Structure formats: structure tokens, C-alpha cells
Amino acid sequence: MRRSKMSLAAAVGLFVLWVLFSGKLDAFHLGIGALSVAFLYWQESRLPAIRGEGERRLRIVTTVVYVFWLLWQMLLAAWYVAKKILGPKEGLQPRMFRFRCEMPSQVNSVLFANSITLTPGTLTVDVEGDEMVVHALTADTEKDVFEGDMAQRVARLSEASASVSVEKLPLETKKEGRV
């Protein structure tokens, strides 16, 4: 049987976060927290490793700064989308597009795809290797994926000197008939 990669310190840290966020110290809430952490510990032990041999870990300070930057971007995007939805309907121009962005690792690619989805007005529909298909609510939200600095920030989460570019691809069917 394979041992979990999650350390005991990480499990204790998750439990402490549970206690802090719940604000409850009764047996029921502590029990639910312990069960949740135990379930995560078990699930994590069953997942295949996504980090390649010799691959760098995410840099802690840079990642924390990125989370706050992403939250700010989410607020700005939510305000923009609200204005577009509540304003004249001709401002909405939904579209799908495909692009390639070679990230330093698979972890960075997943974080980039999730960051796009978390930002109102965009939704990552498919990820295959270094290619992604995204739905955008307007031309501006599509442009933000290409011209914004989200890709650079995500790439630098694991490597300080990482540099990436976002290359637009045609949105036509691929080898398996997928869009």
C-alpha cells in the first residue's frame, strides 16, 4: 500500500484552518473537521503524483501574493461583467477560442486554467497538454487572456525567471472530433 505524500504537519495545518474558519470548538464541529481532514488525507494518498521528477515546488511568498492579486482581478472582472450584463445587451459578444501556453509544469497549467475560470467573464472549457479552450463573455475578456499578465504571474509561481507567451490557435476540430 502506498503511503500518503501529505505530511502530518499539513494535516494538522488543515485542521487548524478548519477550526479557525469554523470558529466553533464543540465536539460536532471538531469531529467534522477531523473527518474532513482524514478524508482529504485518504484522497490525496490515492491521487497519482502530478509533479514530475525534479520539478520545482511553488514558491510560497509569490503564491500568496498571487492569490491576493487574483482576488483583486476577480473583483475587477465581476464589476466589469455586472456592468456588461446590466447594460445594453449588444455589449455581450460570447465567443470560444483556443490558445497555447507552455507553462513550466503541469501544476502551473492547472493553476492557469483554474485562474481563468475563477475570473468572471471567462471559463476554461478544455485543457489538453499546453492547449486550452476558453469561453469569453466579451472581446475584452478574451483580450485579457492574451494581453494580461496572468500567464506570466502563474509561470513565475514556480520559477522566478519563467517567461511564457500565449499563442492564439484556430478553434477548429482536432484529431478526435473535439472542439
Tell me, what's the pLDDT at 122?
95
All cell numbers assigned to 113: 486554467
pLDDT (mean) for 106-112 = 90
Please check the confidence at residue 4 and state whether its pLDDT lies above 50: no
How do residues 145-174 score in pLDDT, each as one tens digit?
888 789 999 999 888 888 888 888 888 755
Separation CA 51–CA 110 (nearest Å): 12
From the CB of residue 145, how many other CB atoms can be counted at a distance below 10 Å?
23
Burial of 74: CB neighbours in 10 Å, binned 0-12, 13-18, 19+: middle
pTM of the model: 0.70
Separation CA 144–CA 146 (nearest Å): 5
Please check the confidence at residue 72 and state whether its pLDDT lies above 80: yes
DSSP letters along 24-84, please? Answer: --SHHHHHHHHHHHHHHHHHHHHSPP-SPTTPPPPPHHHHHHHHHHHHHHHHHHHHHHHHH
pLDDT (mean) for 70-87 = 93
